[in-house]
Amino acid sequence: MGGNYMYQHIPVLLNEVMTHLDPKPNHLLIDGTVGQGGHAKAFLQRALPDGRLLGIDRDPSNLAIAHEHLASFGDNVILVQDTYANAKAHAYAHGFTSVHAILLDIGFSSLHVDDPSRGFSFSLEGPLDMRYDRSGGLTAGEMVNTWSEDELAKMFRVYGEERNARFIAEKIVEQRGNEPFVTTKQLAAFIEALIPRRGKTHPATKVFQALRISVNDELGELERALPELIELLAPGGRIAIISFHSLEDRIVKQFFKEHPVLTVVTKRPVTGSREELRANPRARSAKLRVAQHN
């Protein structure tokens, strides 16, 4: 791998995605979470010479890496910084209105977790941020320090499926009156002192997940995007979605089932091979669902 970028991301369920999308040498793909371009590259290698890819990502840092990683594909690639919930406008602007494939690989990437300044990791000291796009919106810290006890409790319960949601929210509100929450480790240590550790999982895991989902409105983006995305599929075109927790997977499963223009291709979600799960811990919670436009 050449170039001066740090290409670290391992594309999840790559073989499974390629099998289901089956790119051909004139296909159009919208990759709504192009990230560092791992899946995109594999798609383009099979879609040349006439295939094209519209890659969207909310995060400028990941997109910059994708630019370098996919540079050799020249005009066959268009990259845009935005949320995939706005995919339709970009698709119309660039002639991707009747596409063979759409891919979403939702959530965060290794770049987010490994960079302390992004605030995604409770084991690395950093600001409580967690925004994929740092140009606007509330940070995790702003939510923790300003939301009411009820709002925090609901967020931890619904997005984190945290059993102690109310208790944690109550204690956070109490504590922030003395000292606001500023850093990741400060919040993680505070939760660890409240909730005894069980097994290997850090007691702050679910609260951090809830904050990430809430800060980026991850479920709302998915719900808003799906109806518009399927309008962009050509007859026979496929949409493939990789999700990493049950709330997202449920939204995708329901949506596929409720839309008569779609035929579900994966009756059960596809998970990684034993080899992949061994090599890439992040793949352990990945679930792929695919549907085809009639």
- Residues of this chain that bind ligand SAM (CB under 6 A): 9, 11, 32-33, 35-39, 56-59, 62, 83-85, 105, 107, 109, 132, 216, 221
H or E segment to which residue 57 belongs: strand 52-57
Between 170 and 217, CB nearer to ligand SAM: 217
Q: Which is nearer to ligand SAM, 19 or 263 (CB)?
A: 19
Min dist. Cβ of residue 55 to ligand SAM (A): 9
Report, in Å, the least distance between residue 103 CB and ligand SAM.
7
Q: Cβ(269)–Cβ(263) under 8 Å? A: no
**Which is nearer to ligand SAM, 83 or 209 (by Cβ)?**
83
Nearer to ligand SAM, 221 or 249 (CB): 221
Cβ 128 to ligand SAM, closest distance in Å? 18
Q: At closest approach, how far in Å is the CB of 15 from ligand SAM? A: 13
**In DSSP terms, which residues pair with 107 in a beta bridge?**
none
Q: DSSP readout, 1-32?
A: --SSS---PPPTTHHHHHHHH---TT-EEEET
Could you tell me the smallest distance in angstroms from the CB atom of residue 52 to ligand SAM?
17
- Nearest 5°: CA angle at 10, between 4 and 11? 115
**Cα angle 247-261-289, degrees, rounded to a multiple of 5:** 35
Work out the angle at residue 291's Cα, subtended by the Cα atoms of residues 289 and 293, and round it to the nearest 5 degrees. 165
CA distance 54 to 43: 11
* Residue closer to ligand SAM (CB basis): 225 or 233: 225
